[in-house]
Chain A
């Protein structure tokens, strides 16, 4: 698959603050790529750099294998931080301005307004909009010109639960059309629900990157206790379907490969002549896993 965006050692310093440190990622065509991290981790800085509004301190990036310019920008629809519009202009007029800059026909405006459910408010001025409506208008603006790539910075910020669900559904639908979506979010749950790939950032450092299923697999842990802990450990390490084994105080925690569950563990142990005194499945929360990634020092 072709790369849509590739960054190479991208860094940004604000005085003494290293906002982004040598970020190198590749975003493949057709993926929904999540930039995940707490506030101030460098997500918006990353997007600001690749969207040509910030100057990198060092490093480089390419869109579709080219340097950024009018041609590449035409293929990208992007929303950075807050919705940015003229407060005294109506929603429709604001979109006309965007359409003219992008070189898009004004006839597309009703379609994108309809997509975000704002067609009844198109003659309201932007300053009269609620935060949720502003966010939707920004989303509509990114859709103008039918771009191949959408870059969305916290797109569900300020929306009510219904709005959040709608926007996520919209993202998935657009992603389903084969478009590439780059999404920055501090909401773990959002990234897990929407994205195919994820990069985890903390204080400007890339902590982990890869398919969501590999990075954020919320795999259950099986916790067992056996009278002879030592022997149980040796046996477990030889079982083919056990992914990892960790010995806790008086118990052993393990994760299993896909398709196996606690029954398999129990059966295998019994066959080896070990009777378990305790067997329980511990649901591991995404949050716990995320915190683990964030805390690891690289």
Chain B
């Protein structure tokens, strides 16, 4: 945990870190607040969005889009170490290459914990304000969506971290990260059988926070094959391990 303490020493006075986290928080609040005004089939959703326990799946679905922001945050933190040449100084001063990866992974875990706790507070706030059913049982019956979100946030940031260690330049890493998540993998999905692409990283991660009302859509159109959140957890954890392992291998093989 000494590694995490050192990371906190570096991060807490860093304005960029707080700005990105601030944007995440503000956008989430704004979107959750606005989501009650979404009109579907000429009918305003209204306070229906905030009903327990469905609020948890809706909240984590919205939050899943902002994982990209958390990924960018990690890219900034990792590529900074390259541009300040502090990565190299830390190795000189006594950290191993494994320590470098672990230290950043601890930051990933910390940020994911903060994001998940924030969602919990947000959910409780809007739920207690607008939900008609405020019983504890309905309040917490689907709270496990938060744990799926946690895994998803960690995985997104681990992927971003991998791109940052690979590319070393912040701008290019961010482009590569966004391009992979939003363009490259979806193109691969088109050309691949559903049976296989449900195991691709981005698809696995999005399965963790399925779109609310997906079941309804599936009845209307041909169902898309997606893993259930509980089944997507294990592959997601494997991908996290893979991204960390690859980051370590890159550091191991390359000069700093």
Contacts and interface: CB of A to CB of B under 8 A. Distances in A.
Which of A70, A86, A93, A102 has most B Cβ within 10 Å? A86
A86 B92 contact: no
Contacts of B94: 70, 73-74, 101-103
Interface stretch (A48-56, A171-179, A195-203): A48-56
A66 B179 CA distance: 46
Contacts of B254: 55
B147 interface: no
Given A97-B9, A101-B6, A88 B15 contact: yes
Nearest to A96: B9
B2 A100 contact: yes
Given A97-B6, A97-B10, A87 B92 contact: no
B86 A53 contact: no
Interface residues of A, number: 29
Interface in B48-90: 80, 84-86, 88-90
Nearest to B90: A101
Interface string A102-120: 1100000000000000000
A80 B93 CA distance: 11
Nearest to A55: B255
Contacts of B256: 53-54
Interface in B4-52: 5-6, 9-10, 13-15
A89 B88 contact: no
Contacts of B253: 55
A85 interface: yes
A80 B88 contact: yes
B14 A88 contact: yes
Contacts of B95: 101
B89 A84 contact: yes
Interface in B84-132: 84-86, 88-96
Contact of B84 (A48, A55, A84): A84
Interface in A87-141: 87-90, 93, 96-98, 100-103, 141
Contacts of A58: none
A20 B181 CA distance: 42
A10 interface: no
A100 B5 CA distance: 9
B92 A78 contact: yes
Nearest to B16: A88
A82 interface: yes
Which 10 pairs between the two chains have the least Cβ-Cβ distance? A84-B89, A73-B94, A84-B85, A53-B256, A101-B93, A54-B255, A100-B6, A53-B88, A51-B92, A78-B92
Interface of A: 48, 51-55, 70, 73-74, 78, 80-82, 84-90, 93, 96-98, 100-103, 141
19 contacts: A48-B255, A51-B91, A51-B92, A53-B91, A53-B256, A82-B85, A85-B86, A86-B10, A86-B14, A86-B80, A86-B86, A87-B84, A88-B14, A89-B10, A100-B5, A100-B6, A101-B94, A102-B94, A103-B94
